[in-house]
Amino acid sequence: MKEGKPATIKEIAKRLKISPSTVSRALNDHPSIGLVTTMRVKKVAAELNYEPNQTAIFFKQRKTFTIGVVLPSLSEPFFSAAISEIENVAHEEQYTVIMGQSLDDPERELRILQTLKTHRVDGILMSIGKNTRDYRFIDLLESAGIPIVFFDCVPDLDNINKVMSELETGMLEAIDIFVSCGHHAISLINGPELLPASIERKNAYIKGLQKNNIPYREEYIVHTDLTPEGNEAAILQLLALPDRPSAVVSFNDYVALDVMMTVRQRGLTLNQDIHFISYANYPLWKYMENPPMASIEQFPGDQGRKAAALLFDLIKTPGRKEPVKVVFNSRLINQV
């Protein structure tokens, strides 16, 4: 029984010689429809292989049961962990997920948002790209009535919903651990100097030193543009210092991977000559022979899950609310 055109409500109404609206109501288990008619309708619907035309429903209901997710990258483990959890939450809520990766290109990011808007998604989850400076899109979405929740990489604004990992706790823990292991020469390999995430790390780093009465030495902070070459240059800069650090906190795991490889290649022994702790975005250290001493975990899955939950909250109760800000504590794990 090939269904050339999918059956519509009209056809099943004609078959039963009742009105389309009755059919519609029966199909939706409307209370005011008799049990018998409801059953008859459903029976014929099944026979005709009826399937509601969602595009029509979306159109009529002004609702798509779809959320949009905008991320810098889909292939980075941090984000794929996040989106995996987001998909899970959406699936529980009977929503579907439509997504785009900005690749840190602000223009592409905007185009994706535009697409999501024209697709009339019911809400958006977003982690902004490294180079995004223009936040005007937020007002546009707001005036279009599309709620948006930022997570992980969030704009530095107050009147938005965001879920993020606070970077300080983990940094303080890391420095404490280093100190308690006898290190005083503690470095920070930071990201691009102007990135909010870098600034936060730097402040936490300085605070951690102060807390342990270790003088802050400017040359112990180096910067990388997060490319492999930049990472290598950063560590070499540290290694070239007259009193090179014995402990290093690195911007994230990718930086740590490059940096640790370079260190090995220079003949130094990891976890002996020099020790590392990094902000985690990469889960497989346990397989390494010489992993970092510890990682500062940022829980991408939890962030994604929480952000999604928040978004569904906004979707379901659209009343203008106070912006919500959820901060996860970063935490040291995998201590060896």
- Candidates 26, 41, 45, 83: give the one binding its own copies (CB under 8 A): 83
User: How many angstroms separate the CA atoms of 284 and 129, rounded?
Assistant: 25
Touching DNA, residues 7-66 (CB under 7 A):
8-10, 17-22, 24-25, 27-28, 31-34, 36-37, 50, 52-53, 56-57, 59-61
Does residue 295 contact residue 332 with C-beta atoms inside 8 Å?
Answer: yes
Helix axes 35-47, 9-16, angle to 10 degrees: 120
Measured from the CB atom, the residue of 198 and 303 that comes closer to its own copies is 303
Q: What is the DSSP letter of 33?
A: S
Which residue stretch of 23-31, 50-58, 272-280, 306-314 sits at the interface with its own copies (rule: CB under 8 A)?
A: 50-58
Encoding tokens for residue 215?
A: 């003088």
Measured from the CB atom, the residue of 32 and 265 that comes closer to DNA is 32
28 binds its own copies (CB under 8 A): no
Query: What values do phi and psi take at 43, rounded to 5?
Result: -65, -50
Per-residue burial over 38-50, b if 16 or more Cβ lie within 10 Å, else e, is: bebbbebbeebeb
- Report, in Å, the least distance between residue 112 CB and DNA: 21
- Give residue 270's Cα distance to chain centre: 31
Which residue is it, tokens 């990201």? 191
Q: Binding partner of residue 221 among its own copies, DNA, none, CB under 5 to 8 Å per kind?
A: none
Cα maximum dimension of the chain: 92
- Give residue 313's Cα distance to chain centre: 17
Measured from the CB atom, the residue of 198 and 262 that comes closer to its own copies is 262
Touching its own copies, residues 51-70 (CB under 8 A):
51-56, 58-59, 62, 64, 66
| Closest alpha carbon to 305 in 331, 278, 324, 326 | 326
Residues of this chain that bind its own copies (CB under 8 A): 2-3, 6, 51-56, 58-59, 62, 64, 66, 73-77, 80-81, 83-84, 87-88, 91, 96-101, 108, 112, 115-120, 143-144, 257-258, 260-261, 264, 284, 286-290
Residues of this chain that bind DNA (CB under 7 A): 5, 8-10, 17-22, 24-25, 27-28, 31-34, 36-37, 50, 52-53, 56-57, 59-61
